[in-house]
């Protein structure tokens, strides 16, 4: 379906997405082109591991790509777009995975009416388990969104949303895996303090997470009902949960997700367009 996909930015998110795409066999390594700002060693590394095409020559990377994936930090977006805009053709789909930055800003900077689509994946893309939200900008037609969906489906699930919802989604599922890893760090620490062997604890923790995730996926019951089924009155779970309540665990998690969404708005605020719908 795609002949060539170009990544502008060769960081951890670009690597996660290309790993997923290659693992699924959606594209061959010679169809993937990557460039970054100045770190040639990083490009060399990606070339050695994934055999993708790497170049500092932006024109070479962008030319004839069906899709151009912007994968730099928000602070680098303006310079990156200025470096590539003269090579971009109106039939190319520009996909941004950046937190906060609107499609309107990207279109303004490109000074072209080419389709711009935002995607908010997460690093579980590496193993094909990303939860990716997708939103089309002003010039993105149904067929463009569909083609981006097809691309991101190779790295997990996709959900088409309104662009305005992407701030909240970034705080929820874009950053989400980090909250889970942080939680696991605490479980590991507690296991270690209790004198459990590291490998034993690791296996038990991971299977507990996988089992709970599968229950959430396959059961019709609400999370609160699943929780209540574990909580025997006066038992161990109740004692544990009461401690979490004492530390205002739920309040802390909600504040965490809201703060991450607020940060997405903040990150995007220098990069606004008159056409942004939430103006």
Ligand X SMILES: NC(=O)C1=CN([C@@H]2O[C@H](COP(=O)(O)OP(=O)(O)OC[C@H]3O[C@@H](n4cnc5c(N)ncnc54)[C@H](O)[C@@H]3O)[C@@H](O)[C@H]2O)C=CC1
Ligand Y SMILES: O=C(O)[C@@H]1CCC=N1
Q: Which residue, chain included where needed, has tokens 């939430």?
A: 278
Nearer CB in complex with ligand Y: 107/170: 170
Q: From CA 257, how far away is CA 249, in angstroms rounded?
A: 13
25 assigned ligand-binding residue: no
> 70: closest CA among 41, 44, 107, 40?
107
Q: What is the nearest approach in angstroms of ligand X to the Cβ of residue 187? A: 21
Q: Which does 126 bind (CB under 5 to 8 A by kind): ligand X, ligand Y, none?
A: none
Q: Which does 132 bind (CB under 5 to 8 A by kind): ligand Y, ligand X, none?
A: none
Could you list the residues that contact ligand Y (CB under 6 A)? 99, 170, 174-175
Q: 169-200 as b/e, with b when 16 or more CB fall inside 10 Å? A: bbbbbbbbeeeeeeeeeebeeebeeeeeeeee
Q: 46-63 as b/e, with b when 16 or more CB fall inside 10 Å? A: beeebebbbeeebeebbe
Nearer CB in complex with ligand X: 80/93: 80
Nearer CB in complex with ligand X: 65/99: 99
Nearer CB in complex with ligand Y: 100/114: 100
11 assigned ligand-binding residue: yes
Nearer CB in complex with ligand Y: 54/72: 72
Could you list the residues that contact ligand X (CB under 6 A)? 8-14, 35-37, 39, 42, 71-74, 76, 79-80, 83, 97-99, 120-123, 174
Q: Which residues contact 110 (CB under 8 A, 6 or more apart)?
A: 81, 85, 88, 94, 116
Nearer CB in complex with ligand Y: 46/119: 119
| Cβ-contact 153, 44 below 8 angstroms | no
Round the CA-based radius of gyration of the chain to a whole number and report it. Answer: 21
8 assigned ligand-binding residue: yes
10 assigned ligand-binding residue: yes
Q: What is the nearest approach in angstroms of ligand Y to the Cβ of residue 191? A: 27
Q: What is the nearest approach in angstroms of ligand Y to the Cβ of residue 180? A: 13
Q: Which does 69 bind (CB under 5 to 8 A by kind): ligand X, ligand Y, none?
A: none
Q: Which does 9 bind (CB under 5 to 8 A by kind): ligand X, ligand Y, none?
A: ligand X
| Cβ-contact 45, 66 below 8 angstroms | no
> 6: closest CA among 79, 135, 14?
14
Q: What is the nearest approach in angstroms of ligand Y to the Cβ of residue 107? A: 21
265 assigned ligand-binding residue: no
Q: From CA 70, how far away is CA 94, in angstroms rounded?
A: 7
> 26: closest CA among 149, 179, 197, 166?
149
Q: Which does 37 bind (CB under 5 to 8 A by kind): ligand Y, ligand X, none?
A: ligand X
User: Residue 119 carries which DSSP code?
Assistant: E
1 assigned ligand-binding residue: no
Q: Which does 97 bind (CB under 5 to 8 A by kind): ligand Y, ligand X, none?
A: ligand X
Q: What is the nearest approach in angstroms of ligand X to the Cβ of residue 176? A: 9
DSSP string, 66-116: SEEEE-S-GGGHHHHHHHHGGG--TTSEEEE--SS--HHHHHHHHTS---E
Binding annotation: 8-13
Binding annotation for NADP(+): 8-13
């Amino acid at each position: 379906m795609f002949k060539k996909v170009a990544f502008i930015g060769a960081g951890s998110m670009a690597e996660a997405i290309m790993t997923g795409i290659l693992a699924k066999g959606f594209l061959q390594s010679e169809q993937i082109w990557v460039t970054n700002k100045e770190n040639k060693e990083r490009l060399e590394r990606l070339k050695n591991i994934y055999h993708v095409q790497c170049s500092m020559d932006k024109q070479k990377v962008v030319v004839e790509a069906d899709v151009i994936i912007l994968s730099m930090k928000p602070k680098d977006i303006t310079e990156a777009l200025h470096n590539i805009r003269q090579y971009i053709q109106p039939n190319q789909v520009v996909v941004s995975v950046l937190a906060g930055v609107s499609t309107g800003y990207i279109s303004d900077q490109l000074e072209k009416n080419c389709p711009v689509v935002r995607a908010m994946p997460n690093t579980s893309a590496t193993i094909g388990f990303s939860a990716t939200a997708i939103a089309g900008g002003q010039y993105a037609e149904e067929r463009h969104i569909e083609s981006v969906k097809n691309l991101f489906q190779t790295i997990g699930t996709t959900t088409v949303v309104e662009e305005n919802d992407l701030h909240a989604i970034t705080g929820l599922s874009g950053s989400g895996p980090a909250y889970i890893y942080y939680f696991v760090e605490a479980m590991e620490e507690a296991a270690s303090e209790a004198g459990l062997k590291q490998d034993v604890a690791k296996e038990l923790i991971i299977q507990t997470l996988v089992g709970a995730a599968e229950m959430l996926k396959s059961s019709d019951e609400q999370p609160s009902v699943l929780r209540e089924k574990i909580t025997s009155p006066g038992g161990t779970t109740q004692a544990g949960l009461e401690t979490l309540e004492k530390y205002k665990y739920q309040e802390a998690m909600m504040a965490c997700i809201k703060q991450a969404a607020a940060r997405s708005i903040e990150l995007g605020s220098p990069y606004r367009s008159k056409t942004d719908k939430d103006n």
